[in-house]
Structure 1
């Protein structure tokens, strides 16, 4: 696999893909070695071959900083001086997103809105988030500082729709504070409500603040691996904790013609739970979803409601001591743990000595960086 030729990296304008000059095979090998070193309790024979990614056109989501000046914007990242660096030809973005960025820049320039100046703490336009579905449909989110920018974008909706005819969701997020975050709490929908990520027979519905893996092809492989493990274990019941819009739960429900498996997804976001319920209904999948904190839900469960298998897909901090202790003492026989942080995974596994890793696999969601996803199948000893 040949590496993409990145003019931004070579010019020193962007170092986000810190490993882009490292041959891809070496990147994969180093990620596998990192996981083996970080997780020494996993037997060598348990490691499956890593799941590869394309080395370009793999990101389904772009989080673009708006920089420059009114009428002449940049879309990319912030430089060390707090000024915008234009990356509209970044090769890791999907081709659909990459072709859209120049048109978005022209639209924003026509609004006359001032990009937010981080050092001076003034301006209106902060970020544009773009997500592309497998079918080419788009979700656009504009993060702005004030009602003035919201009103201007609302008035320009017709023009924007002509510029981006395949946008099915357009929203504006209000972030008035000077914070190092990507969005605020308030979201105003201008068009549509959700983006359908069609993965085989299952459509996952993403609302503007929903989480989804940034690499669609590798996400498919991750869900398929979890489903294969679940089918092998064949539990009568399972919980998907931190379920988001239901990716694992929906893919791990009963196969057609098989005995019905009792599947429950638990997610803090009520909007994500509504999306998961919609996906289950559309696909004819018998799965339930509840809006609750994963740890509190598990700790509050009665002993007779504990499932045979639990799937966890936590944020980078991991599941934490309380949930790890509950899993250790619960009587749950099998656990699938999907992690974006091998270090927190190792800490959580150390707190669950009754489990051993039966199989493990690296999923290269983020080529050219040190980031990765690793999933393990745990069986009680």
Structure 2
């Protein structure tokens, strides 16, 4: 893949840009194999490759420039806006939507936030595309000062961008380097974006986590379902369940499935998905690390953040009655630490899923069985 932004030195986020994709993937597999070398008996399945470009279903764009000439992209070393609307790793549908959004910013007189001066209103534009091309737009603002103008000009944006299904204002009044705040104000009647992956529809609410690469996410869910169905457990818990992708995919008649997630928005979306699909899956807002060994089900699926499970949860799982663990990790280093902390569970199969082409990041899924 060729990227003019990378060649010009204005954006170096894609650290592997310019390296042939087959070499990128081989390097990721080699790194994962090295980190998981202590478990030499595990069988490595062929890696799941991604489309090397236009794979990202979400864009997290910092707003810069001026009201009349806004930029969507990143900030440079001087904290000024760098426009990246043509970024090649973003899905075509996201890039096609940017002109209408920038025109809307100018029409509604949304002043881009000036980080050095700590002045302005619009901080970030967060845009997500569903597999059927519908969009969720979140405008991250410092206050509600411009809310009336946004509502006034929203009909024109919806006319120019008919694929826009969900729009919200997110409030982030603090001057800090985060993407979004805690308060979400809906602008449209629809408040969830339907994400269909194979035969499961996931309802994504603003603030709910969803994997960046739709095709690879579907591959992860298929693999987890295959491994879970092989052992046919009577009960499964999905820890760090997000919008419920794993839990809903492993649901089956007679199987008790429960998802636990700290994000209320994600759990609310997961409950809608379960109800629409007619699946008897329980979703709870809670801390995954609060699991106790005596409450553990037959099988557990874990998909933790980059820091991994941590010593406490590893000890709980290791001492529990769960006979099967499916561990989906976005950080092979923390994965290796966690596997070492669960000696009663033996990795049987491992597979790399390339969620993030052009970067050094990837997902690894491991099937563990009790010794």
Q: Quick one: distance in 2 between partners of 1:45 and 1:355?
A: 12
Residue by residue over 1:215-253, the C-alpha shift from the partner in whole angstroms, topping out at 9 and shown as x without a partner, is 000000000000010011111111001111110011011
The equivalent residue for 2:181 is: 184
- Offset, 1:44: 6.4
Q: Quick one: distance in 2 between partners of 1:115 and 1:271?
A: 27
What SS does the aligned partner of 1:245 have?
coil
- Structure 1 unaligned segments of length 5 or more: list them: none
The answer to whether residue 316 in structure 2 is matched with residue 326 in structure 1 is yes
The equivalent residue for 1:232 is: 230
- Offset, 1:275: 1.7
TM-score (norm 2): 0.97
Q: CA RMSD in A?
A: 1.3
- Offset, 1:74: 0.6
Q: Quick one: distance in 1 between partners of 2:126 and 2:323?
A: 41
Which one of 275, 290, 293 corresponds to residue 269 of structure 2?
275
Residue by residue over 1:157-213, the C-alpha shift from the partner in whole angstroms, topping out at 9 and shown as x without a partner, is 212211221111100011111101000111101012100001122110000100000
- Offset, 1:270: 2.6
Q: Quick one: distance in 2 between partners of 1:247 and 1:64?
A: 26
Residue by residue over 1:311-347, the C-alpha shift from the partner in whole angstroms, topping out at 9 and shown as x without a partner, is 0111111111111010011121110111111111111
1:50-69 correspondence to structure 2 within 5 Å? 50-69=47-66
Q: Quick one: distance in 2 between partners of 1:346 and 1:101?
A: 40
The answer to whether residue 145 in structure 2 is matched with residue 148 in structure 1 is yes
C-alpha contact 1:260 1:286 (8 A) present in aligned 2: no
The equivalent residue for 2:331 is: 341
Q: Quick one: distance in 2 between partners of 1:210 and 1:154?
A: 24
- Offset, 1:121: 1.3
The answer to whether residue 94 in structure 2 is matched with residue 113 in structure 1 is no
The equivalent residue for 1:216 is: 214
Q: Quick one: distance in 1 between partners of 2:39 and 2:27?
A: 17
Residue by residue over 1:123-159, the C-alpha shift from the partner in whole angstroms, topping out at 9 and shown as x without a partner, is 1111101000011110000001122133322222212
Which one of 260, 268, 278 corresponds to residue 254 of structure 2?
260
The answer to whether residue 44 in structure 2 is matched with residue 47 in structure 1 is yes
Which one of 67, 70, 77 corresponds to residue 70 of structure 1?
67
Q: Quick one: distance in 2 between partners of 1:317 and 1:94?
A: 28
C-alpha contact 1:17 1:369 (8 A) present in aligned 2: yes
Greater alpha carbon shift after TM alignment, 148-157 vs 347-356: 148-157
C-alpha contact 2:324 2:370 (8 A) present in aligned 1: yes
- Structure 2 unaligned segments of length 5 or more: list them: none
The equivalent residue for 1:197 is: 195
Residue by residue over 1:246-290, the C-alpha shift from the partner in whole angstroms, topping out at 9 and shown as x without a partner, is 100110111xxxx51111111122332222122112222222112
What SS does the aligned partner of 1:229 have?
helix
Q: Quick one: distance in 1 between partners of 2:113 and 2:348?
A: 50
Greater alpha carbon shift after TM alignment, 34-43 vs 238-247: 34-43
- Offset, 1:45: 5.3
C-alpha contact 1:125 1:149 (8 A) present in aligned 2: no
Greater alpha carbon shift after TM alignment, 109-118 vs 234-243: 109-118
C-alpha contact 2:306 2:331 (8 A) present in aligned 1: yes
C-alpha contact 1:36 1:42 (8 A) present in aligned 2: no
Q: Quick one: distance in 1 between partners of 2:321 and 2:129?
A: 41
The answer to whether residue 281 in structure 2 is matched with residue 287 in structure 1 is yes
The equivalent residue for 1:367 is: 357
C-alpha contact 1:201 1:283 (8 A) present in aligned 2: no
Q: Quick one: distance in 1 between partners of 2:131 and 2:122?
A: 28
Which one of 131, 134, 148 corresponds to residue 131 of structure 2?
134
The alignment of Structure 1 onto Structure 2 pairs a total of residues equal to 370
Q: Quick one: distance in 2 between partners of 1:112 and 1:137?
A: 25
TM-score (norm 1): 0.94
The answer to whether residue 35 in structure 2 is matched with residue 38 in structure 1 is yes
